[in-house]
Amino acid sequence: MMSTLKLAERMNRLGTEGAFEVLAMAKEMERSGIDVVHLEIGEPDFDTPRNIVDAAVNALNRGETHYSPAQGILELREAIADYLNSRYGSSVKPSEVVVFPGGKTAIMASLMAIVDEGDEVIYPNPGYPAYESIINFLGARAVPLPLKEERGFSFKPEDLEALITPKTKAVIINTPQNPTGGIIRKEDMEKLIELAEKHGFYIISDEIYDRILYDPEKFTSVMEFPEMRDKIILLNGFSKTYAMTGWRLGYTVTNEELAKALTKLAINIHSCVATFVQWAGVEALRGPQDAVDAMVAEFRRRRDYLLERISRIPGIRCHKPEGAFYLFINIQDLGISSDEFAKLMLKEYGVALLSGTAFGKYGEGFIRISYATSMENLKKAMDRLERAIQERRWEK
């Protein structure tokens, strides 16, 4: 039943996520008996490692079923600080860490804490859809920073510089990147740091795929720039690295003043993250890491298989991703828009994938596939993609 009462005006400024919409359509097709291969959703197809599940069960049995401090239990914040400090030689203190129910809420809270109406926030495009949506929701101006295929989907420093104004409050980056699998080049990161120092804005760096790397030596984190720590918000989480999407666990690392503000938001929104889930997070970081290594090895095998298949299909090409579990395939030579191609693949060939434009206007000419699915499914999907491109029904 429709209500005659109006929703808040700001709801008109909130976007959705293409992946969830395509998933709903694909599920409907499946209900009518059509076989669909799912390449649309970005979540690991592995189970959460057993030691992490056991840690949560043990915590429940110990009675860790009450509120925790809003900022997160000290043991988890210490584990996060230790992880970052041992990886980057940084000096993060537990007081600078705030635990959130997922990376997504960490993005929302970070922007809520620093952005006023009328401020400008520069964000990657194509990029994770929540950035643009939340910036708009908060009444700020979302300024897209184009990512360049020819730079491995890093940005051009001169493009970034040209977008900075006195109203620029923050620049969001994401490395390794969704939807492209690219990483930000070291020299581009250095330029960004220099610009943040010169113009005075926050850098929000979403590094949720920081462990899913195929060329680790090429990866640069904002944590490698200690002199900038007062202007940095690091976003990270457990969903991707530890196959924990349904647990809802993420965090921010920033200066103490902002960490206090983020904690205040936590108090007002969710009070705290489920306490036993936080204990599972401690085990994830402190326990054995071989399950992560095995997942990354399997993702690499799938990536290489897909790239090899794509290289033999005329008319499409793909940048070799350095991280995450997505391929951003260039279909510009096919003579069909990304949206139409994605629809055709779903309706006529039973392959659910995403149009590049689900990630912003600079995604036109690309499609995203997630290879967080079995080799068998990937093979089937590639056979269907190959057939679609041979048949070229859109030209008939």
Ligand X SMILES: Cc1ncc(COP(=O)(O)O)c(C=O)c1O
Of 237, 287, 356, 365, the one binding ligand X (CB under 6 A) is 237
Of 103, 181, 182, 287, the one binding ligand X (CB under 6 A) is 103
Of 123, 128, 328, 366, the one binding ligand X (CB under 6 A) is 128
Tell me how far apart the alpha carbons of residues 176 and 179 are, in angstroms, rounded to a whole number: 9
Nearer to ligand X, 214 or 349 (CB): 214
Q: Which residues, 6 or more positions from 198, have their beta carbon under 8 angstroms from its beta carbon?
A: none
Of 245, 338, 370, 373, the one binding ligand X (CB under 6 A) is 245
- 104 lies in the binding site for ligand X (CB under 6 A): yes
Q: Which residues, 6 or more positions from 218, have their beta carbon under 8 angstroms from its beta carbon?
A: 183, 185, 186, 322
Do 365 and 147 touch, CB atoms closer than 8 A? no
- In 3-state terms, what secondary structure has residue 245? coil
Q: Kindly indicate which of the ranges 98-106, 108-116, 261-269, 328-336 contains the residues binding ligand X, using the contact rule CB under 6 A.
A: 98-106
Alpha helices in the chain (DSSP H): 18-31, 50-62, 74-88, 103-114, 129-137, 157-163, 186-199, 256-269, 275-286, 290-311, 338-349, 375-391
Segment holding 203, helix H or strand E: strand 202-206
Do 202 and 213 touch, CB atoms closer than 8 A? no
Q: What residue type is 229 in one-letter code?
A: R
- 208 lies in the binding site for ligand X (CB under 6 A): yes
Nearer to ligand X, 208 or 277 (CB): 208
Nearer to ligand X, 16 or 61 (CB): 16
- 178 lies in the binding site for ligand X (CB under 6 A): yes
The sheet carrying 120-125 orders its strands as: 97-100, 250-253, 232-237, 202-206, 168-174, 120-125, 141-148, 154-155
How many residues bind ligand X (CB under 6 A)? The answer is 13
Q: In the bound complex, what is the minimum distance in angstroms from residue 153's beta carbon to ligand X? A: 13
- In 3-state terms, what secondary structure has residue 22? helix
- 42 lies in the binding site for ligand X (CB under 6 A): yes
Do 342 and 355 touch, CB atoms closer than 8 A? yes
CB contact burial 179-199 (16+ within 10 A = b; e otherwise): bbbbbbbeebbebbbebbeee
Phi, psi of 138 (to 5 degrees): -85, 5
Q: In the bound complex, what is the minimum distance in angstroms from residue 103's beta carbon to ligand X? A: 3
- 176 lies in the binding site for ligand X (CB under 6 A): no
Q: In the bound complex, what is the minimum distance in angstroms from residue 178's beta carbon to ligand X? A: 4
Residue 242 per-residue DSSP state:
T
Nearer to ligand X, 71 or 178 (CB): 178
Q: In the bound complex, what is the minimum distance in angstroms from residue 237's beta carbon to ligand X? A: 4
Q: What residue type is 127 in one-letter code?
A: G
Q: Kindly indicate which of the ranges 100-108, 315-323, 354-362, 382-390 contains the residues binding ligand X, using the contact rule CB under 6 A.
A: 100-108
- In 3-state terms, what secondary structure has residue 60? helix
Nearer to ligand X, 90 or 178 (CB): 178
Q: In the bound complex, what is the minimum distance in angstroms from residue 140's beta carbon to ligand X? A: 19
Q: In the bound complex, what is the minimum distance in angstroms from residue 208's beta carbon to ligand X? A: 4
Tell me how far apart the alpha carbons of residues 224 and 254 are, in angstroms, rounded to a whole number: 14
Nearer to ligand X, 42 or 287 (CB): 42
Q: Which of residues 48-87 bind ligand X (CB under 6 A)?
A: none
Nearer to ligand X, 209 or 341 (CB): 209
- 250 lies in the binding site for ligand X (CB under 6 A): yes
- 44 lies in the binding site for ligand X (CB under 6 A): no
- 102 lies in the binding site for ligand X (CB under 6 A): yes
Nearer to ligand X, 103 or 182 (CB): 103
- 239 lies in the binding site for ligand X (CB under 6 A): yes
Q: In the bound complex, what is the minimum distance in angstroms from residue 209's beta carbon to ligand X? A: 7
Of 48, 71, 133, 174, the one binding ligand X (CB under 6 A) is 174
- Which residues are at the interface with ligand X (CB under 6 A)? 42, 102-104, 128, 174, 178, 206, 208, 237, 239, 245, 250
